[in-house]
Structure 1
Amino acid sequence: MLLYNYLIFTSVIGGNEMTTEERRLMIKVAKLYYLEGWTQNQICKKVGKSRPIISRWLKQAREERIVEIYIKDESLHTVELELILENKYDLNEVTVIATNKNNQEMVMRHLGRTAATYLSSKIDDIKSIGISWGKSVHALVDAFTYQNKPHIHVIPLIGGLGQNNVHLHSNHLTFQMAQKLDTSSSYLYAPAMVETVSLRNNIMESKDVSEVLNQGKNVDLAIVGVGNPLESTMTEMGYLNDKDRLSLEESNVIGDINSNFYDREGMELEHQINDRIIGLDLKDLAIIPEVMTIVSGVHKIEALHVALKKQYITTLFIDDVTATALIESY
């Protein structure tokens, strides 16, 4: 919650029809209201004037800058960044947190807690949540508090099998979120990426996988990450090798969401890697009512800018350093 500090300046501003006594009373009313915390009713009794006169004097004091109102709080700059981003990209909700010189891990944890609190406030109004994968999604799920919400169903948005960094996979995160909500979930019994396009098509056509993907397309809210493919968690997890990264770079890749790689126009790349992904694509994500993401790191601002511009994202959680870089760059 912001702390509002009201600073009052008394100065003689001519050009009005108030008497000297009325002006003295107006300044007294402003002092009582802004500095002493009196209610307008209390002031009416104190100075013997009606409520409409008190309201008019308070309004006039602001208009003539006898009273100037400042917000003095360390979070003011983050609120300003939120408003700029909301207006710039027509977003439903933006939350900016202050990094306060914390390291990247601490910043991500703070963002995860903030996003988890927001999700908790929405949870009674939704019936299904879609879960992607990666560090930012993990930060939210890890921070989410245990609740009893059996009306929710949790669904992975991308395949989630593998040996490395299992805690970042969609199936694991889906299971963890379902546990925290004490509710049901589905699972995609397939990896996020397979070796060939034909294998991917066969898996996608299987009943178990296709049914879960169809559920994912119809979730009320999705939690995804926005990535820079050249500094990607997918590389850490063994899905992308040096040859893949070079190939993506030559294709002018800018970013990825749910491991769907896109260009500077926000269009999915016509690339064999995209054709090997088992999960929802960008067109599927674009029709989900609310898509949340957490972003931290200036290396992601170009990918984020394009994703926001294309309105793949509706709800953003970001740190102030990254938010400032995004605003100054675009």
Structure 2
Amino acid sequence: MTTDELTRLATLYYVDGLTQEDLSKQFSLSRAKIGRLLKRAQEEGIVEIRVKHHPRDTRDLERELIARFGIEKAIVSINHKDQDKQRELLAGLVASHLDRILANDMIVAVGMGRNINSISEHAISSTQRSSTFVCAIGGFYRGGESMNADHICRRLAARFGGDSETLYAPALVSDPGVREGLLNNDAVKPTLDKARRAHIALVGVGDINEDSNMVRTGWFSPDEIAELRHRGAVGDLTGYHFIDLNGGPVVTAVRDRVIGLSLDDLKRIPNVIAVASEHTKTTAVLGALRTGVINTLATTEAIAQSIVSLEDATRRQSLTLKPELADR
């Protein structure tokens, strides 16, 4: 059965409400064969099934995050014990949100990472737009699709409509001099300038541990991660802007070797959507929220609850320390 025929079969079943018995008669196939074809439609991405949680399940947490951190919106997914499924649940919510707010002529600056890649995989829209998805960081050959903003941009453009724009530069270069040259290159500068004019940015929040995705893909060694932790880093925004628990920058030499948007660039973008689904990222998300860069936070119920508890604890600790400092 061709892709067009499979799409027609799936539409009749999932949209028009025909039963497998109806399809068996219409296509002159056994019910078992119809069942296998419907399963194949899911496997090939023709059909995507989502279970949407009721907004009341997480509404109070979303309001709490907005009130505490002054962000404009919070998107919180229900918990799932399987990490891959958890990432998919959150990605589906972010993709639906993007579908609602995306308009013609908007520019979306796109980062990299598993969470951002998952959004592109789960994006579904019946509305085609003349938007532009532009890379917020150069390319990186290790780590597959999730580590290449260009691949993610192309998929988002295909799902939502519009164009994608490639940043013709590597994500990581050998030294600051090479970076400076590329930032002023005629093939690189116009794309980064367009990313700086974005209406929306999609960025990931990373954690600092020896098993992080950035270590597995070769961006950083375990020793470099250990040094970052020693200097107070709890996480990163976009993979290379390291931050401490208070949202302050932890300056590293790597930052001067990356071709991508700076934190100051992100601060000027009206809606920065930061995404984190992994349970190890509580402190990283709290630090990211305190940078003042994030407008929309997308995370899980477990992380949101932990952030609220951690914020309470750090606030109490700060109040306890202030009288002691005053006595000195």
Q: Please, what TM-score do these two structures have when normalized by structure 1?
A: 0.73
> Which residue of structure 1 aligns with residue 216 of structure 2?
236
Contiguous gaps of at least 5 residues in structure 1: 1-72
> Which residue of structure 2 aligns with residue 288 of structure 1?
269
Deviates more, 1:246-255 or 1:273-282: 246-255
Alpha-carbon shift at residue 222 of structure 1 (Å):
0.5
> Which residue of structure 1 aligns with residue 225 of structure 2?
245
> Which residue of structure 1 aligns with residue 282 of structure 2?
301
Is the alpha carbon distance of 1:251 and 1:207 closer, same or farther for their aligned partners in structure 2, counting shifts above 3 Å?
farther
Alpha-carbon shift at residue 146 of structure 1 (Å):
4.6
> Which residue of structure 1 aligns with residue 10 of structure 2?
none
**Using the alignment, how far apart are the partners of 1:263 and 1:320 within structure 2?**
23
Instruction: Classify the secondary structure of the residue corresponding to 2:202.
Output: strand
Is the alpha carbon distance of 1:76 and 1:148 closer, same or farther for their aligned partners in structure 2, counting shifts above 3 Å?
closer
Retained in 2: the 8 A contact 1:155–1:187? yes
Q: Deviations over 1:107-126 (max 9, x none)?
A: 11011111100100011266
Q: Which residue among 173, 187, 194 is the counterpart of 2:166? A: 187
Alpha-carbon shift at residue 97 of structure 1 (Å):
1.8
- How many residues were matched structurally? 257
> Which residue of structure 1 aligns with residue 141 of structure 2?
162
> Which residue of structure 1 aligns with residue 152 of structure 2?
173
Retained in 2: the 8 A contact 1:126–1:220? no
Q: Say whether 1:214 aligns with 2:193.
A: yes
Alpha-carbon shift at residue 74 of structure 1 (Å):
7.1
Instruction: Classify the secondary structure of the residue corresponding to 2:85.
Output: helix
Matched to 2:214, the amino acid is M
Alpha-carbon shift at residue 94 of structure 1 (Å):
1.0
Q: Which residue among 137, 143, 148 is the counterpart of 2:116? A: 137
Alpha-carbon shift at residue 224 of structure 1 (Å):
0.4
**Using the alignment, how far apart are the partners of 1:125 and 1:177 within structure 2?**
14
Alpha-carbon shift at residue 75 of structure 1 (Å):
5.5
How do residues 15-164 of structure 1 correspond to structure 2 at under 5 angstroms?
76-99=56-79, 101-124=80-103, 127-147=106-126, 149-164=128-143
**Using the alignment, how far apart are the partners of 1:75 and 1:181 within structure 2?**
24
Matched to 1:239, the amino acid is W
Retained in 1: the 8 A contact 2:132–2:163? yes
Q: Deviations over 1:83-136 (max 9, x none)?
A: 11110111211122211x431111110111111001000112661111000011
Retained in 1: the 8 A contact 2:123–2:160? no
Alpha-carbon shift at residue 266 of structure 1 (Å):
2.3
Q: Say whether 1:271 aligns with 2:270.
A: no
> Which residue of structure 1 aligns with residue 317 of structure 2?
none
Deviates more, 1:217-226 or 1:243-252: 243-252
Instruction: Classify the secondary structure of the residue corresponding to 1:195.
Output: coil
> Which residue of structure 2 aligns with residue 70 of structure 1?
none
Report the aligned-residue RMSD: 2.0
% same residue: 23
Structure 1 runs of 4+ off > 3 angstroms? 73-77, 146-150
Is the alpha carbon distance of 1:74 and 1:288 closer, same or farther for their aligned partners in structure 2, counting shifts above 3 Å?
closer
**Using the alignment, how far apart are the partners of 1:89 and 1:298 within structure 2?**
20
Retained in 1: the 8 A contact 2:136–2:192? yes
- Structure label with greater radius of gyration: 1
Alpha-carbon shift at residue 150 of structure 1 (Å):
4.2
Q: Deviations over 1:4-43 (max 9, x none)?
A: xxxxxxxxxxxxxxxxxxxxxxxxxxxxxxxxxxxxxxxx
Retained in 2: the 8 A contact 1:229–1:253? yes
**Using the alignment, how far apart are the partners of 2:77 and 2:105 within structure 1?**
26
Is the alpha carbon distance of 1:93 and 1:276 closer, same or farther for their aligned partners in structure 2, counting shifts above 3 Å?
same
Q: Which residue among 201, 207, 212 is the counterpart of 2:180? A: 201
Is the alpha carbon distance of 1:251 and 1:205 closer, same or farther for their aligned partners in structure 2, counting shifts above 3 Å?
farther
Q: Deviations over 1:30-70 (max 9, x none)?
A: xxxxxxxxxxxxxxxxxxxxxxxxxxxxxxxxxxxxxxxxx
Q: Deviations over 1:164-186 (max 9, x none)?
A: 32343111101111222332221
**Using the alignment, how far apart are the partners of 2:183 and 2:143 within structure 1?**
23
Retained in 1: the 8 A contact 2:104–2:130? no
**Using the alignment, how far apart are the partners of 1:298 and 1:311 within structure 2?**
22
Is the alpha carbon distance of 1:177 and 1:251 closer, same or farther for their aligned partners in structure 2, counting shifts above 3 Å?
same
Is the alpha carbon distance of 1:87 and 1:183 closer, same or farther for their aligned partners in structure 2, counting shifts above 3 Å?
same
